[in-house]
Structure 1
């Protein structure tokens, strides 16, 4: 476990947003399900992306790294046969919830046993929505106690009627949307409760369409999926990641001017709303047609933030709220409790250690802003990349140093975060190394 000491300093300059992890997962899965070789370019590698590539190999899909058209990025030539098979008996999903939930239905097309394993909080993240489907279809599976990983699936999904709750995770919906078009018969997927994170379903539908898969839906609550479809590959560029850009746009609001490049102005990513939320709080965000977004330093005020369609940007927006004038309420954020950690509890605990006034609610947070800034102190990243990066941004408004233990967890999604933080003017010092928990 790595402990970093950050001496407060205002960040400023320009930084290129990593490629979208959400779209990266989807692009390489669709490419792998295609018949032939596809090129997926502009990938920012991370532990989560490595997990999805491992799963592709377990499903009989091969890939090799090829030169990227973007400096510092990765491209892969991904070769598939248009179907999946259990080329391995087990696959390690790391700590990636997207990987696990996207791949389970594909593993259930193989007709042979495939075991999914994981680490950290992923072992206990809920999968009951899939178990209910397997039970209804009589598909054989085994799990550890309480439905935890490892999960072994052995059988073949059948086409027909499917039901899923919409208020647990949209990843279950996406997982079935990847798999069901490969069945011979037609299927209908109906969402049985309020749908959260609709934007992530939009990302899946847009990626499927790019690769030749047609799915019709009725207001996102009923999906009509024709069977016998085939994925058609090609060459694709992964767009920039708005959830990672959020850290720099908040940092620019709290420090000096920061321009975040490489973003898609018409992106379907739900986290794109971060620019509007910062503006609504009084921040100054400008943009151009090339996808360059600039945050200028500005005083901000408290507002109500609805987290239903943008859960990943809530931790760093909590930092901004902690030093904004007035009170901010974050609502519809209950799903943050089942991420890599309980993010509502984590941000409450760690920001309050720095001198903030955050109150944890059952479904959100209440933050009384302290525009004078925070004091600093020792905090823990809770083995969660978004907590670590948010606490780093919080150091910009502290009077004393912020010491973050477990800082290495940024490897999950943004391995270059600390490098970019330092390049923008951050003062970082490694003060401890030890074994992780």
Structure 2
């Protein structure tokens, strides 16, 4: 059976086996979205290489096609990866009246402002938890600018029909940074200059920095006034410039293998960049504070197994690595506190509830708080011998697999195919590192 093509609801049995070896980090899904969008908004043909294909990336490709960009898969310069040849018209043009965003929150929130530049109806649909993920920040802008929109009680499908105008856009800092990035993609194309004002400290600011970096690469100027993430000056009448580029490695996915190495024997993860702006690079610093034995080279990081210690983990700027760090904390000495993690409740699932529920089934001791978790570590291992569920969430499935290597008995995981959302090759890489699984259904 091809482990890269498991059905969403596939069930696997995971046997205790410590991970050891070297694995190549997938390309960054976050930067992949951004590079593909910038290429699609440029006039001319761009090549974006080193793409690790996933359901979320495919959703972004569909949205670009709906805006009249041509997107073709071509051979990559790197083994096991895909390159995309993208030809854009220089500005969004309506080529469809609806687009399916799958379960990708980034795709939906990045494209809604672009759809609002068309001055004709465009309907956004989605699946799973995406249907009800918050979009109020955009609705407030549409109300202020008298842009027509229609929803199902605030949920998808969402139809936008109007033309976004330049001006001052105010957003609270505690909303998803995806709203800021979505505006940053669209505002440079408008006829006038705009300002984005953040009315309170911006959470997940690193993701906005990644957007600014990508915009600059494609020739778009945005000024982060005083570098304080409180006011962005966006000149209008700009044009994206086509070019060739390569997507960097993904620290949020590398985090699973760093955690796997600390709970296993030794795992090295190559293809990462320590100069990256990705907030999830914080996994290295956090795990070092936990006492993990980490070694670095120019584009790789390795972690040797050993006993880790409790710490305080602030989730504000690195929410995506919290599930797997919870697994590490559950097997560390002492009491770990995870704070500022309320946003994890509105991801693909309520990740705080999911990790508490499923790790506790395996024998962990985790207490769920309003904005975080308290994790009472058990360095001796977890009992296992139970059935757990991925909650239709790729990061929950992968985190439980990493914890399973330190169980005394096998676990049965339902929803193993959910990894296809971001990392279809996860189970193949897991087995290549010595993980032992059996596909049951």
User: What TM-score, normalized by structure 1, do the two folds share?
Assistant: 0.98
| Alignment partner, residue 3 of structure 2 | none
In the alignment, is residue 171 of structure 1 matched against residue 178 of structure 2? yes
In the alignment, is residue 57 of structure 1 matched against residue 57 of structure 2? no
| Alignment partner, residue 334 of structure 1 | 342
| Alignment partner, residue 120 of structure 1 | 128
Helix, strand or coil at the partner of 2:241? coil
In the alignment, is residue 152 of structure 1 matched against residue 175 of structure 2? no
Spell out, residue by residue over 1:82-124, the C-alpha distance to the aligned partner (whole angstroms, 9 max, x if none): 1111100000000000000000000001111000000000000
C-alpha separation between the residues in 2 aligned to 1:62 and 1:360?
Answer: 46
In the alignment, is residue 192 of structure 1 matched against residue 199 of structure 2? yes
| Alignment partner, residue 274 of structure 2 | 265
| Alignment partner, residue 315 of structure 1 | 323
In the alignment, is residue 368 of structure 1 matched against residue 388 of structure 2? no
| Alignment partner, residue 392 of structure 2 | 383
| Alignment partner, residue 245 of structure 1 | 254
C-alpha separation between the residues in 1 aligned to 2:192 and 2:224?
Answer: 17
C-alpha separation between the residues in 2 aligned to 1:186 and 1:314?
Answer: 38
Spell out, residue by residue over 1:164-185, the C-alpha distance to the aligned partner (whole angstroms, 9 max, x if none): 1221200000000000000010
| Alignment partner, residue 299 of structure 1 | 307
In the alignment, is residue 73 of structure 1 matched against residue 81 of structure 2? yes
| Alignment partner, residue 130 of structure 1 | 138
Could you tell me which of 97, 116, 126 is aligned with 1:108? 116
Could you tell me which of 374, 392, 415 is aligned with 1:406? 415
| Alignment partner, residue 435 of structure 1 | none
| Alignment partner, residue 36 of structure 1 | 44
In the alignment, is residue 274 of structure 1 matched against residue 283 of structure 2? yes
In the alignment, is residue 14 of structure 1 matched against residue 28 of structure 2? no
Helix, strand or coil at the partner of 1:151? strand
C-alpha separation between the residues in 2 aligned to 1:121 and 1:312?
Answer: 16
In the alignment, is residue 216 of structure 1 matched against residue 223 of structure 2? yes
Tell me by how many angstroms 1:233 deviates. Answer: 1.5
Could you tell me which of 99, 103, 106 is aligned with 2:107? 99
C-alpha separation between the residues in 2 aligned to 1:124 and 1:95?
Answer: 11
C-alpha separation between the residues in 2 aligned to 1:251 and 1:161?
Answer: 46
Could you tell me which of 427, 430, 439 is aligned with 1:430? 439
C-alpha separation between the residues in 1 aligned to 2:127 and 2:333?
Answer: 40
User: What TM-score, normalized by structure 2, do the two folds share?
Assistant: 0.97
Helix, strand or coil at the partner of 1:308? coil
In the alignment, is residue 236 of structure 1 matched against residue 245 of structure 2? yes
RMSD in angstroms over aligned alpha carbons?
Answer: 0.6
Helix, strand or coil at the partner of 1:100? helix
Helix, strand or coil at the partner of 2:209? helix
| Alignment partner, residue 48 of structure 1 | 56
Spell out, residue by residue over 1:277-311, the C-alpha distance to the aligned partner (whole angstroms, 9 max, x if none): 1111010111111x111011121010000000000
C-alpha separation between the residues in 2 aligned to 1:168 and 1:427?
Answer: 40
Question: Number of aligned pairs?
Answer: 430
C-alpha separation between the residues in 1 aligned to 2:75 and 2:415?
Answer: 33
C-alpha separation between the residues in 2 aligned to 1:18 and 1:193?
Answer: 34
Moved over 6 A (4+): none
C-alpha separation between the residues in 2 aligned to 1:358 and 1:231?
Answer: 48
C-alpha separation between the residues in 2 aligned to 1:168 and 1:184?
Answer: 27
Tell me by how many angstroms 1:265 deviates. Answer: 1.4
C-alpha separation between the residues in 1 aligned to 2:300 and 2:273?
Answer: 9
C-alpha separation between the residues in 2 aligned to 1:128 and 1:419?
Answer: 39
Unaligned stretches of 5+ in structure 2? 1-8
In the alignment, is residue 225 of structure 1 matched against residue 234 of structure 2? yes
Tell me by how many angstroms 1:402 deviates. Answer: 1.2
Spell out, residue by residue over 1:45-100, the C-alpha distance to the aligned partner (whole angstroms, 9 max, x if none): 00000000000000111111111010000001100011111100000000000000
C-alpha separation between the residues in 2 aligned to 1:50 and 1:334?
Answer: 28
Tell me by how many angstroms 1:194 deviates. Answer: 2.3
Unaligned stretches of 5+ in structure 1? 433-437
